[in-house]
Every structure is written in C-alpha cells, then in structure tokens.
Amino acid sequence: MLLKNKLVKGTFILTFSGLLSRFIGFFYRVFLSRAIGAEGLGLYQIVFPLYMLAYSITVSGIQTSISRLVSARFALYDHRGARHILLAGILLSLLLSVPVSAFLFFFCHLLSSICLKTDRAAALIRLMAFAIPFGSFHACVDGYYFGMQKTGIPAIRQLLEQGIRFLLLFLLCQNFFPLNHEVSPLTAVFILVAEEAFAALFSFTALFFHSIFPYLQKKTGDPVRSSSMVFLTDDIREIGKEALPLSGNRFIMCILQSCEASLLPVTLQLSGYGSGKALSIYGILSGMALPMVLFPTAITSSLSTMLLPSVSAARASQSASRVRKLIRKSCRSCLAVGILFSLFFLFFGRTATAILFQNALAGFYVQSFAFICPLLYLNPVLFSILNGLGQSSSVFFYNLSGLILRLLAVLLAVPRFGITGYFCGLFLSQLLCCFLCTQRIHRSV
C-alpha cells in the first residue's frame, strides 16, 4: 500500500509539474518559432540531437542507475549507502562531461560540416558545450530524488527551468538587454545554457539544505561504513555496470537521431524540395508538430519516471503479484491516454496547431501523427518497466531495432515518397518496439 501511495503521489506531482512545464515550454516554442522563423527553428533543431548525444554519454544512463540503486538502498533502509550512490554518480558524470564539452567546443566546425552537413551550426555547437556539465549535475540530483520517490524537488526545478527559459526569451525579444543583433538560433542556445546553469544551482541548493546539511548536523542513525573511499569506488563500479547498457542504448539512439536530423533535410531535397524549404519543413515537423503531439506525454512520462523505482523496489521485495499489477494498470492508463489524444489530434489537431503556430503545414503534420500517438505514449512506459525489471540490455536492442528501421525509412522512403515515407517509418518502428517489449515483459513476469 505504501509503494502504491508513493507511486500515485509521485506520478501526480510529476504530472502536474510536467503539464505546467509543457504548457510553458509549448508557448515558448510558439514564441521562438515566430521570433526566428521556420528555417531558424530548423537550424536550432538540427543541433539539438548533438546535445542529446552528449547528454547520453555523460549522464542519461547514470541518472537511471542512480534512481534504481538509491531505490534499492532505501528499501533496505541504507540511507548512507544511497548518499554514496549519489556522490559516486555525480563524480562519474562530471568526469565524463568535461572532456565531452571540450570536444564539442574545439571541434565544432568539424562536427557542423561533417555530421550536420552545414557550416551554419558551428557557433551553436560551441556555445552549447557550456550547458553539458550543468545538465549532468542536476540530472544526477533528479535521479537521487526519483529513487527516494520524492518528486517535489525535480518538479520545482523543472518548472523554474521552463520559467527562466520563457522569461529570457521574452526579455530578449522586447530588447530588455542591449543586443547588436536580432533574436536568432544562437540566442536560443544561449537561453539553453542559462537555464541549465540555473537548474544546476537550484538542484545544488535544494540538495544541500534537504539532504546534506541535516546529515552533517546529525550523523547518527545510519550504520557506519568503514573506508568510505573503498565504498565510493565500489559504488562507481556498480553505477558504471548498471549505466553502461543504458548509456549505450541512449548513445546509439542519439547517434541515429543525429543522423536523422542531418539526413532528413538532405533526403527531402532529393524528393524535390530546395535546401531552404527542406530545412523549413524539418523545423515545422520537429519544432512545431512534434511538441504539439508530445504535449500529453507529461502524463505518461511522469508515470514512466516513477515506474522504474517502483518496479525495482517491488522486485527487490520479491512481490511478483505487485509487479504484475503495476504493469497492467500502467499500460491500460497509457493506452487510454493515447487513444483519447489520437482522436483529438485526428479531428481537431489541424485547426488547433494552425491557430497556435500560424502554420497550416504544422497542422497537417499533427493530424498525420495522430495514428502514432498510442504507441508514442505507451513505448516509454514499457521501456521503463523493462529497466525496472533489470532488462536494460533488452531495451538497448529493441530501441536499436526501431531506430534502424526509422533511419532506413529516411534513406529509402523519403526520397521517393517525401515526408509520407518518414511517417510510415516512424509508425513501423514504434509498432516493432511495442511488440518486442510486450513479449519480453510477458516472459519476465
């Protein structure tokens, strides 16, 4: 009952903050698209997979590992061990993020011309490099609180981050700060760095006053562990073992997403569009239509985030019936949400998106995405369940299979059928991942 209450409470908090955060972020996207235009939005979106690639190397697997291991420590009332896991995760993440940031900073021109097929993105990549250490730190802190199933701090951090982002863009557009140039894609990257730095500062402050300072005042109550450095080394090794398949999964996914981001405008040109028009289509697709379609995932992603430590804790307590019950209810809820919004986007998506973004093509793309919504909302939850069951390697191969299928669609179908080929490839890849995940979960529980 306690586990269920924590899951419901944590999911509610994350859902509320997620919806509000998505609401702010959505209108930030609307404001940004009007400030820099469809082509500028496409240029900003084309470098974003590179940022996610750096994130996957430095912290994505580590954050999930921290969440799972902290959950297991708290289930055994080992609070000191949970803090050691957090410290080990932060050290490991920062050791990775500093060289990755340096690589992006010094090789931005090479990455822009070879990987992204354009020289216009070099300045964006160089500035983006400064955001990575900040993002890595607050992601580790979020993982610690998710593992404890205390979602208040991550929820507040998320809201403040979105608020700072929107406020900065508004002030820049209103010429509050003296600028020598208009708002551009480089401005959007500057806002990204500023919001990540603010989020890291908030996470450190919250962690200090919520966990570290009370512990320094009162060290009794936890079993004393001898040779802290030895235990810290063991914790780093344990996190690395947990994080490697997760980071590998995320790394491969981001590599393919980066290839997709750079190849989709090229293959659209092969289907008959000019270079500027192809970049605009990519900006409309990824910067307008997708944020609209993914707006309801604030509900399902909150559930996904809370499911991993909940399933992990239930599995640690050897409660198979509780695991099955969590899985059944979670999957039914996600399917219900997916079908509901699929119908909404099918009948009202074109009108709503055209009004918000003042772009008729974005509305057409949202209507096309409607058929994929149930799978888009369900698959992250299935992946989270598998991670909670310790099936990280399966998640890696399933994601890899789906993304390879999607990339093949970009290479083979888009030049012949245009953007329709991309939608077909996305639908088939999501369907494949859903089938593989459900079969694996059925065998596991």
pLDDT in tens, 320-359: 677 777 788 778 878 888 888 899 998 988 888 878 887 8
Average pLDDT taken over every residue of the chain: 81
Q: How high is the pLDDT of residue 30?
A: 78
Q: How high is the pLDDT of residue 429?
A: 93
Tokens of 218: 């009162």
pLDDT tens string 281-291: 888 888 888 88
Tell me how far CA of residue 265 lies from CA of 44, 312, 411, in angstroms: 13, 41, 11
Confidence band (pLDDT; 50, 70, 90) for 305? low
Mean pLDDT of 157-164: 88
Tell me how far CA of residue 228 lies from CA of 87, 223, 225, 232, 239, in angstroms: 11, 12, 7, 6, 16
Mean pLDDT of 193-214: 85
Report d(CA 131, CA 109) in Å as an integer.
18
Q: Indicate the number of domains in the chain.
A: 1
Q: Which of 24, 12, 10, 46 is nearest to 275 (CA)?
A: 46
Q: Is the pLDDT of residue 180 over 60?
A: no
Mean pLDDT of 166-189: 75
For the chain, what percent of residues have pLDDT higher than 90? 18
Higher pLDDT, 313 or 61: 61
Mean pLDDT of 364-368: 89
Q: Is the pLDDT of residue 401 over 70?
A: yes
Tokens of 370: 């409607």
Mean pLDDT of 161-167: 87
292 DSSP 8-state letter: H
Q: Is the pLDDT of residue 198 over 90?
A: yes
Q: H helices of 317-372, where?
A: 320-357, 360-369
Confidence band (pLDDT; 50, 70, 90) for 226? very low
**Domain with 330 in it:** 2-444
Whether the CB-CB separation of 90 and 137 falls below 8 Å is answered with yes
Tell me how far CA of residue 64 lies from CA of 104, 137, 195, 241, 253, in angstroms: 24, 13, 22, 12, 16
Q: Is the pLDDT of residue 60 over 80?
A: yes
Q: How high is the pLDDT of residue 140?
A: 93
Q: How high is the pLDDT of residue 98?
A: 93
Tokens of 196: 């990540």
Q: How high is the pLDDT of residue 9?
A: 63
Q: Which amino acid is at 430?
A: Q
Region label for 358, one of left (φ > 0), alpha (ψ between -120 and 50) or beta (otherwise): left
Q: How high is the pLDDT of residue 225?
A: 46
pLDDT tens string 233-271: 777 888 887 788 778 777 777 787 778 877 888 888 888
Q: Which of 27, 19, 32, 38 is nearest to 355 (CA)?
A: 27
